[in-house]
A and B are shown apart, each in its own frame.
Chain A
């Protein structure tokens, strides 16, 4: 089954959060339900990083901060030759870090059609 990314919706006031927090930022409630976080996003800013940390063997990776239509802003990797602030992206979920025994999944943004 393909891994999914979630936002966390406060069961009391409906405020969306990503990543998960202990306390709702709007009403102080402490329970949430997971809802899918997917679809179209707008790129706010980006960078190509050439000095990656331990564990990454590529010469560079492109990263960005993108805003989903529901208002949530997240960081992710960008898989696209063309990158410009303001462009429309589609969120996909992929391996963002290879681990020992397990891989880590996160947002990989591609250029929207």
Chain B
């Protein structure tokens, strides 16, 4: 199998986007193509993958990938839309990797995007909930936050995680986002104001007890893009591509109540193990990580299942500052889903964009010094389909 690398990255500012869905995807796409020095002309790209969960349901568009190829003047490139819930982005990266590694493609464009703010908050919540089991979960009015709340309660009871631990992580992510111009939220909440202050219970109310408003990511629009290429044609590109060293994926039960161990995220563990094995790396080798913190409890749990900390100690590491920039293993230097935002289809791609920027040394005020290996974990459903991606900077 050929070695695969990332030659270009693109990323819109997450938050509110004006214009059409296709325009939003195109902005990210051309930024990545320009970054890779690739012309928007027929034949320059072999395959386009578009990652999106809602284009059909929310924006009433289907065949998005085909439409994107045409508007970018890339015909007759092959094209497909990839849907894996919130893990659509990482799945699209995985398929792009396979297309290049197999020898079928030399250059593949991946664009992830979501435009959720065209509908109300209730409709967005409902739309995201459709990934739950129709009879056993969705029809009850259960939502992703509901399961995150129940998971948080189990974690708090079993491991002693506190509400303040989650707030500490949220504040860290917001501080990181202040150094990331594409992040949705450019405001750092005050730790005391959202936890212990007399007004905190009203200012930071419960969303899904015991999760509070500032433990949950915002609703965002945005797109991110990557150009994957074969490493054996790397000299065609202006800079040395960052290698995709490992990919792993695993599924778990659809119905959350059927998980064997309710506090385990088995699919995360298996996906990460497979990615490490393929990359020939261990958790200790990872210098920077983007972990899917749609709910801050997930940053804790995923950091443990990915092997960074022993079970039940992820929150202790956060308290110590181990996951800050400059700490033992910086997590979510981009601001994470919490502060960077979470346009569902874009997230998996956005996480990889951040890793590329870190490994290239383009992290600015959030740069992890000397970062060589990065891990991204993209969490689909409530953990029933997880994709892990490892990137490595090759030495000259």
Do any beta carbons of A and B sit within 8 angstroms of each other in the complex? yes
Binding site for B on A (CB under 8 A): 18-20, 44-56, 61, 63-65, 73-77, 85, 96-97, 104, 106-107
Would A64 and B150 be within 8 Å (CB), given that A19-B133, A51-B207, A53-B122 are in contact? yes
Query: B residues within 8 A CB of A50?
Result: 205-209
Complex Cα–Cα for A64 and B374 (A): 37
A47-B208, A49-B208 given; A96·B141 CB < 8 A: yes
**A-facing mask of B207-228, CB < 8 A → 1, else 0?**
1111100000000000000000
Whether A49 touches B136, Cβ cut-off 8 Å, given contacts A54-B126, A85-B157, A96-B141, is no
Q: Is B242 on the interface with A (CB-CB < 8 A)? A: no
Using Cβ atoms and an 8 Å threshold, which residues of chain A touch B154? 44-45
Closest-by-CB residue of B relative to A52 is: B141
Interface residues of B (CB under 8 A from A): 120-123, 125-126, 129, 133, 135-137, 139-143, 145-146, 149-154, 157, 205-211, 255-258, 262
Do B142 and A75 touch (CB < 8 A)? Answer: yes
Bound complex: CA A2 to CA B69 (Å) = 54
Q: Hey, which chain A residues are within 8 Å of B255, CB to CB?
A: 19, 75
Provide the bound-state CA to CA distance between A77 and B139, in Å. 11
Contact check, A47 vs B126: say whether CB atoms are below 8 A apart. no
Known: A48-B208, A51-B208, A54-B126. A73 touches B257 (CB 8 A): yes
Please indicate which of the listed interface residues B139, B141, B143 has the most CB atoms of chain A within 10 Å of its own CB: B141
Q: In the bound complex, do residue B262 and residue A45 qualify as a contact, i.e. CB atoms below 8 Å apart?
A: yes
Given known contacts A48-B209, A53-B143, A18 and B136 CB-to-CB distance under 8 angstroms: yes
- In-complex Cβ contact of B262 among A18, A44, A55, A106 (8 A): A44
Are the C-beta atoms of A65 and B257 separated by less than 8 Å?
A: yes
- How distant is A80 from chain B, measured CB to nearest CB, in Å? 14
Given contacts A46-B150, A47-B208, A54-B125, 12 further A-B contacts (CB under 8 A): A19-B255, A44-B154, A45-B150, A45-B153, A51-B207, A52-B143, A53-B125, A54-B122, A55-B126, A85-B157, A97-B139, A106-B135
A106: chain B residues at CB < 8 Å are 135, 139-140
A-B contact pairs, 5 of them (CB 8 A): A47-B209, A49-B141, A49-B145, A50-B209, A75-B256
B145 and A51: CB pair below 8 A?
yes
Q: Which residues from B are CB-within-8-Å of A44?
A: 154, 262
Chain A CB within 10 Å — which of B133, B135, B140, B152 has the most? B140
Residues of B within 8 A of A61 (CB): 141
Across the interface, which residues of B come within 8 angstroms of A55, CB to CB?
122, 126, 141
Using A47-B149, A48-B208, A54-B125 as known contacts, say yes or no to A74 and B257 having CB atoms under 8 A apart.
Answer: yes
**Can you list the 5 inter-chain pairs with the closest CB atoms, starting with the nearest?**
A47-B149, A53-B126, A54-B126, A73-B257, A54-B122
A73–B205 CA distance with the chains assembled, in angstroms: 30
The reply to whether A104 and B139 contact each other, CB–CB distance below 8 Å, is yes
